[in-house]
């Protein structure tokens, strides 16, 4: 009788221990499934590459930028931005908002900047290619065009993410399903919302500047049109009535 009890006890222990092992392995598999998610850096690189393939697009964007005034208060200023782009050489940017009312025209190497409030405009000769023209304007004249971070055709090579990043799942921006991802660096944090599917457009991004003690944030929401070509007349500056032409000084001339 005792021998039968021992055998039953051994069988029970074997079954119990095997069920623990199975449960443990099953839990590990479930944890693996739960932790598997898209790689944020790959999502961003895919978006950059997709933007580089677009021969033309139009964008309407709203930006909110924090500015710390007089070391006393963090104020948010808003601007509406419209962009028409036709590669390789045509670009129009219009900015309207709290601090700026300006338009920029790039037409095969002819660049014009127009300040609507002052009714001043300046002209420059630049490289014809949009990428090269933007580099030229920034490096030689310190002219920073709005949303330049979506205008280059080679963003995947210029600004690849420096780490894997964070993935927060799917959320909606203007009823469009987007991957919500983020990247953290020493002086900056960046969140992006990138469309799910075969058109990985960036529909929203938010940047925190950690180099400033106030941690100012810039947030931009974008609405895209990638099917219809912009009208060619948008890239030609029509001189406004009584507009005054001024010289645009280079960095070397200012120094």
Query: Tens digit of pLDDT for each residue in 46-105?
Result: 999 999 999 999 999 999 999 988 888 999 999 999 999 999 999 999 999 999 999 999
Q: Which residue, 210, 169, 170, 207, is CA-closest to 191?
A: 207
Coil, strand, or helix at residue 208?
strand
Q: What is the mean pLDDT of residues 203-221?
A: 94
Q: Which residue, 76, 72, 116, 120, is CA-closest to 98?
A: 76
**Least confident interval from 124-128, 141-145, 229-233:** 141-145
pLDDT-derived band at 147, boundaries 50, 70, 90:
very high
In this prediction, what percent of the chain has a pLDDT beyond 70?
85
Query: Would you say residue 114 has pLDDT above 50?
Result: yes
Coil, strand, or helix at residue 142?
coil
For 18-86, the DSSP string reads: HHHHHHHHHHHHHHHHHH----HHHHHHHHHHHHHH-SEEEEEEEEEEEEEETTTEEEEEEEEEEEEEE
Tell me the CATH class for 40-242: mainly beta
253: left (phi over 0), alpha (psi -120 to 50) or beta: alpha
- Does the pTM exceed 0.75? yes
Mean pLDDT for all residues in the chain:
88
pLDDT score, position 242? 93
- Give me the residue label for tokens 């007349």: 233
Over residues 116-138, the pLDDT tens digits come to 999 999 999 999 999 999 999 99
Q: What is the mean pLDDT of residues 154-160?
A: 93
pLDDT score, position 251? 82
Coil, strand, or helix at residue 254?
helix
pLDDT score, position 206? 97
Q: What are the E-state strand segments in the chain?
A: 56-69, 73-86, 90-97, 101-107, 110-115, 120-125, 166-173, 176-184, 188-195, 202-209, 217-225, 244-245
Domain boundaries, the chain: 40-242
What is the rounded CA–CA span in Å between residue 98 and residue 79?
6
pLDDT-derived band at 254, boundaries 50, 70, 90:
low
pLDDT-derived band at 26, boundaries 50, 70, 90:
low
Beta carbons of 134 and 155 less than 8 angstroms apart: no
Query: Would you say residue 34 has pLDDT above 50?
Result: no
From the number of C-beta atoms within 10 Å of its C-beta (0-12, 13-18, 19+), residue 204 rates as buried
Q: Which residues contact 151 (CB under 8 A, 6 or more apart)?
A: 83, 85, 91, 130, 134, 145
Query: Would strands 244-245 and 120-125 be described as parallel, antiparallel, or unpaired?
Result: parallel
pLDDT score, position 144? 85
From the number of C-beta atoms within 10 Å of its C-beta (0-12, 13-18, 19+), residue 57 rates as buried
């Amino acid at each position: 009788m005792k021998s039968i009890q021992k055998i039953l006890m051994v069988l029970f222990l074997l079954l119990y221990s095997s069920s623990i092992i199975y449960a443990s392995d099953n839990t590990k598999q479930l944890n693996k499934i739960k932790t598997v998610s898209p790689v944020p850096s790959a999502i961003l690189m895919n978006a950059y590459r997709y933007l580089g393939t677009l021969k033309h697009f139009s964008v309407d964007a709203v930006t909110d930028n924090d500015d710390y005034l007089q070391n006393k208060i963090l104020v948010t200023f808003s601007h509406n931005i419209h962009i028409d782009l036709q590669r390789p050489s045509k670009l129009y940017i219009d900015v309207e908002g709290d601090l700026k009312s300006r338009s920029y025209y790039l037409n095969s190497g002819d660049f014009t900047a127009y300040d609507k409030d002052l009714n001043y405009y300046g002209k420059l000769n630049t490289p014809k290619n949009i990428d090269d023209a933007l580099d030229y304007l920034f490096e030689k004249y310190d002219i920073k065009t709005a949303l330049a971070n979506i205008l280059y055709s080679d963003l995947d090579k210029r600004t690849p993410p420096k780490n894997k990043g964070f993935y927060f799942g799917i959320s909606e921006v203007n009823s469009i399903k987007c991957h919500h991802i983020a990247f953290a660096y020493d002086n900056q944090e960046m969140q992006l919302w990138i469309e799910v599917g075969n058109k990985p457009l960036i529909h929203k991004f938010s940047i925190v500047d950690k180099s400033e003690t106030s941690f100012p944030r810039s947030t931009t929401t974008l609405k895209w049109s990638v099917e219809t070509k912009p009208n060619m007349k948008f890239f030609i500056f029509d001189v406004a009535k009584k507009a005054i032409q001024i010289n645009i000084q280079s960095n070397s001339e200012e120094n």
